[in-house]
Amino acid sequence: MSVNRARWIWPLAAPAALALPQGCATISPSPPTEVPDGDPGRGATLITRYGCGACHTVPGVNGADGLVGPPLTRFGSRSYIAGELVNSGPNLQRWIQDPQAVEPGTAMPDLHVTPQDAQDIAAYLFTLD
């Protein structure tokens, strides 16, 4: 009898169970340990606002499919930023705010990113493992 009940319940329960991950995907990710005070959800929005996707491919950001700069896929797993800085939260924020100070002549422009915006953008990029 329990086998028959399971056969009857599964078709009803399966769609609800499969829908759970989609509902969870709308929750903004938690700040990564590298940038504990950052807001990754806001960072993704700022990547669009500052136009980062004109040069970089950034997973999870609509329209961010540029081919000028390196793709930022799996950024959180990288060892270095621009081949110059050890990949850490503070170093990434420094790079985002003033790339010319880190690597004079780099193709990455100074976009006058505020410290708070750099923190949130860095938080988003560190979610890309």
* Structural contact between residues 100 and 110, judged by C-beta atoms closer than 8 angstroms: yes
Given a cut of 50, whether residue 118 has pLDDT beyond it is yes
pTM of the model: 0.77
The domain of 57 spans 30-125
Q: Give the CATH number, domain containing residue 85.
A: 2.60.40.420
Q: Model confidence at 113, in pLDDT bands (50, 70, 90)?
A: very high
Residue 5: is its pLDDT beyond 60?
Answer: no
Number of domains in the chain: 1
Asked, for residue 3, whether it belongs to a domain, the answer is no
Q: Would you say residue 62 lies in a domain?
A: yes
Any domain includes 118? yes
Q: Is residue 11 part of a domain?
A: no
In a domain, 59, yes or no: yes
Q: Is residue 14 part of a domain?
A: no
Question: 24 lies in a domain?
Answer: no
71-90 pLDDT, tens per residue? 999 999 999 999 989 999 99
Q: Looking at residues 88-96, what average pLDDT do you find? A: 98
The pLDDT, as a whole number, for residue 17 is 44
Is 86 a member of any domain?
Answer: yes
